[in-house]
Structure 1
């Protein structure tokens, strides 16, 4: 049956469930009337489902119909009230909690085998001696190679209940050995602090990927390590960070603000206001601070950037942030699914809402905002950023800031259009880098990261990479003598990404970022501002 044929049924469900929801949120309804309406509407929905199951001319999955109806209803609200089906809820919950239960490996499917890229620190695999480059051939009695499995299929064989055992058969290429290892599944951290390191002798750098339950602890540990190394300034990188828990964002802001400073306040549909203030616990209240944001920094990231900007703390660098000023709360639907319902708006200390405009029920237009920014040229030029004069606010020190659509940075940095590679380069470089490291793990293990950054011969690796690509060209292209030959402009970017990817295979995220960020425009702007102080 054509999916479009279900639309009238979706709408019927949506209308009926909408009536039920309306009865819940009707503030003028007495408790007895509310109970009566609820019972009546529940009976109506049950009767409708019974009719469809028993009498509808075609076979219909009523669970799918109900899911579709809920999605339709929430789609009539704001863009951030969403339905989470039960099959997706576990993954969503794991990301928000900052951990999952499994064996703890980063892996890729290479030549139809599960190949360990890195065992995750603190996880069961690293404790059991699993190493980068190992191939996992079996999990218990399940053969995992030669099955044409995708990366999405594998986790169900490796994940499970905490404390349960899994017997792995592993092939180690470095010494051509096959062995079995039994380990217990356990909690594995999902990193929030993607990387932290010293940019130079005085400036530390922390990149936050999300605001999960474990983020503050990770951030605090990273900050302490940098402070022990003597930092006087910190770069907090929130680029690409889509947000998370507000209370975690507040804790991180608290590290930078003096006691009693307002961080954020929220307002619900009844006008109740909840304010959050900095405490005496801040450990980096006096040091220099730079906050990096871009068009993908959203929600909790904007709370952090907005709180610091409105309190005249540090310098915000980058491009206008996403513009999400709504607060969601997850509500369980009782069958393993849930909704995230917008329950409040949040406001920065000066009183501005940074929520960008939206039309209820028009999520498509809302999602296309990034395309409008590109067309308007605001990713390349600060003057192209549209602000509304009526939403102008002033910080305590007299700085002008704006509400109504994201955080406009203090210092604008245009997007680097030369730094982008298409998927062809990403995929081929990833494969080449893995093969190169996999064949030379013993040699690479003897080289320290600093030495690799300074002296690794990327020219030789680049030439080998080009030769490999040209060997795989189609026969037609070979006959026409058309070689794979990147332009000089893209050659520099390819070499940098190739070196960073090789470093990532050997040293993890720090190796990758220290190389890829060596000419990062926002970090170069930080150094420029530092030198002028």
Structure 2
């Protein structure tokens, strides 16, 4: 045995006993009890390592590595969350954090506000897009090559604590101080909600966090008041979240007592979720957009609707995650997310794709790349199905289990939108600098005017292209750069609404919806 591997083997043995006790002592006290000989053995081993092992040992790091190693033998989604990462993970799942509430970027080593977050402390204090944050409580934040984590440490904090900021405002060349009281800031789940035309509404859902249903419901009600009769629910890239939140959203579309999803644990216990009398869009036309990065709770939504013959699922086969995780506290500020059940769509299909019980296996991690190389992202006929995993919906539609939700209408990946990564930074920087230098003039433009008239003479895009003289740029790439530049400028000027409304013009899935609607 390699001497360098000894610590990890020791720690795996230690953690195996500790975690088995943590996970299962309530229901399986015979495995390891509070005062069992196994626990005494483990404690003795720890003592031996700490007192007699030939090298100095950082027990915390050993345990962290061992826990991750052990969970890696279970399934791809049982994971360890070290204590230094738990706060960020929790904030994302809960949908909020405590801070001053700004989105920012580093511009020439200075913190520049992209957008003050709606409802947050900064926007209430008059902080604007383009403001530079120079000092926080007399600590200089510019010219230091600070990492994002270091900046966040200064801006985030405990509720109702103050931070004294010095701000430079470029639009009127002024510097001023303001005291901001830190508070709860919402991490939005609904990126945008707007009317595509007079009858079609669009909601882009980014995650299924604790605040997601409330945001979704507000957006749905807003669009209904604006005359929506058809809804596009965009779940592309949505990696999931809380199952109960997904169920609440599905409940808005399904009639009373329709089965949404059910879960089954290792004891065979089944827990079913049904639609209730609630539901503001049970009679409307529904389109759900998914892709290869739509996972977990997104697949619960798509699967529940598809199996109940509600709406049309458009896009590409979803990720294929049908495992339910429960977060468990390990007592030292760290936690594990342990897979405790599988979920099944109303027809009884599991959409969990196959995996080997070893995270070192590349099969699972390279699945999306494999879909690209085997042609699945370009042609529906390349999607492999298994006859034994075939199911029927109440109206007789054939659906398949065994790995993701296969859409009702396939839309291939748009290769014309591909742009070499080498252009990402120049594009982003030029877009930001253009908006930052012309904010007063641009602020007078409505989104509609911007979409219709901006860069019609190609003067701005030509200025950008002239900066790429050291690159070889094909005509196809030039056209894509022009499109992307306008989209990024819209994002910096109008935030997510500008980004999505511009992008919609070239969005193949949105175009598919418009085709279907036009035939009605």
Q: Shorter-normalised TM-score: what interval?
A: over 0.9
Structure 1 residues 310 and 38, CA gap change in structure 2 (3 angstroms): farther
Cα distance change, pair 510–16 in 1 and its aligned pair in 2 (3 A): same
The 2-side partners of 1:38 and 1:366 are apart by 40
Are 1:54 and 2:51 counterparts?
Answer: yes
CA distance in 1, matches of 2:32, 2:365: 38
> 1:330-380 deviations in whole A, cap 9, x for unaligned?
000000000000000000000000000011114532111112211211000
Find 1:167's aligned residue among 164, 168, 175: 164
Query: Within 1, Cα distance between the matches of 2:474 and 2:468?
Result: 15
Q: If the length of structure 2 is used for normalisation, what is the TM-score?
A: 0.96
Q: Which range moves more in the overlay, 354-363 or 6-15?
A: 6-15
Q: Partner of 2:504 in structure 1?
A: 517
Contact 1:139 1:169 (8 Å CA) reproduced: yes
- Looking at structure 1, the residues matched to 334 and 36 of structure 2 have their Cα atoms a distance apart, in angstroms, of 22
Residues 462-501 of structure 1 aligned to structure 2 (within 5 Å): 462-470=461-469, 473=470, 484-501=471-488
Q: Does 1:213 align with 2:210?
A: yes
Distance 1:508 1:29, change over 3 A: closer
Aligned to 2:378: 380
Deviations 1:257-298 (A, max 9, x none): 000100000001111110000011100000000000000000
Deviations 1:51-87 (A, max 9, x none): 2222221122111001111111101101100000001
Of 399, 407, 410, which aligns to 1:409? 407
- Indicate the SS of the match to 1:8: helix
Is the 8 Å Cα contact of residues 122 and 188 (structure 1) preserved in structure 2?
Answer: yes
SS of 1:154's equivalent in the other structure is helix
How is 1:48-127 mapped onto 2 (pairs within 5 angstroms)?
Answer: 48-127=45-124
Counterpart contact for 1:163–1:185, Cα < 8 Å = yes
For 1:177-234, what per-residue CA distance to the aligned partner results, in whole angstroms no more than 9, with x for missing partners? 0100001001111111011111111100001010000000011111111111101100
Measured after TM superposition, the shift of residue 27 of structure 1 is: 9.9
Aligned counterparts of 1:317 and 1:29: Cα–Cα separation in 2 = 44
Question: Residue in 1 aligned with 2:492?
Answer: 505
Query: Among 343, 349, 352, which residue is 1:352 paired with?
Result: 349
- Does 2:439 align with 1:441? yes
Deviation, structure 1 residue 469: 3.3
Distance in structure 1 (CA, Å) of the matches to 2:394 and 2:448: 43
Q: Which residue of structure 2 aligns with residue 428 of structure 1?
A: 426
Does structure 2 conserve the Cα–Cα contact (< 8 Å) formed by 1:162 and 1:187?
yes
RMSD, aligned CA = 1.8
Matching of residue 196 in structure 1 with residue 193 in structure 2: yes
Tell me if the contact between 1:16 and 1:41 (Cα under 8 Å) persists in the aligned partners.
Answer: no
8 Å CA contact retained: 2:465, 2:478: no
Partner of 1:140: 137
Distance in 1, Cα, partners of 2:95 & 2:28: 42
- How far off its partner does 1:485 sit? 4.8
Go from structure 1 to structure 2 and tell me whether the alpha carbon gap of 1:149 and 1:274 turns closer, same or farther (over 3 Å shift).
Answer: same
Paired position in structure 2 for 1:477: none
CA distance in 2, matches of 1:165, 1:5: 52
Query: In the alignment, is the contact (CA less than 8 A) between 2:14 and 2:42 conserved in 1?
Result: yes
1:20 and 1:38 in contact (8 A); partners too: no
Q: Distance in 2 between matches of 1:427 and 1:433?
A: 10
Within the alignment, does 1:11 sit opposite 2:9 as a pair? yes
Distance 1:359 1:180, change over 3 A: same
* 1:253 counterpart SS class: helix
**Cα–Cα, structure 1 residues 26 and 250, in superposed 2: closer, same or farther, change >3 Å?**
closer
Structure 2 portions without partners, runs of 5+:
none
Q: Go from structure 1 to structure 2 and tell me whether the alpha carbon gap of 1:354 and 1:38 turns closer, same or farther (over 3 Å shift).
A: farther
- Note closer, same or farther for the CA distance 1:19–1:320 as it changes in structure 2 (3 Å cut): same
Instruction: Give the 3-state SS of the residue equivalent to 2:148 in structure 1.
Output: coil
Corresponding residue for 1:324?
321
Partner of 1:313: 310
Aligned-partner SS, 1:469:
coil
Question: Is 1:245 aligned to residue 242 of structure 2?
Answer: yes
What is the DSSP-based 3-state SS (H/G/I as helix, E as strand, rest coil) of the residue aligned with 1:152?
helix
The CA distance in 2 between the partners of 1:122 and 1:370, in whole Å, is 38
Distance 1:59 1:20 in 2: 22
- For structure 1, which segment, 517-526 or 47-56, has the greater mean C-alpha deviation from structure 2 after superposition? 47-56
Kindly state the Cα deviation for residue 12 of structure 1 after the two structures are TM-superposed: 3.0
Q: Which moved more, 1:15-24 or 1:163-172?
A: 15-24
Deviations 1:121-167 (A, max 9, x none): 01110000100010000000210011111333210110000100000
**1:480 equivalent in structure 2:** none
Q: Distance in 1 between matches of 2:385 and 2:7?
A: 43
CA distance in 1, matches of 2:337, 2:109: 38
**Does residue 178 in structure 1 map to residue 168 in structure 2?**
no
- Checking the alignment, whether the CA contact within 8 Å between 1:20 and 1:41 is kept in structure 2 is no
Report the Cα distance in structure 2 between the residues aligned to 1:225 and 1:25, rounded to whole angstroms: 45
C-alpha separation between the residues in 1 aligned to 2:114 and 2:409? 38
State the partner residue of 1:476: none
Is the contact between residue 17 and residue 39 of structure 2 (CA under 8 Å) also seen in structure 1? no
CA shift for structure 1 position 38: 5.6
The TM-score, its normalising length taken from structure 1, stands at: 0.94
Report the alpha carbon displacement of residue 16 of structure 1 after superposing the two structures with TM.
4.2
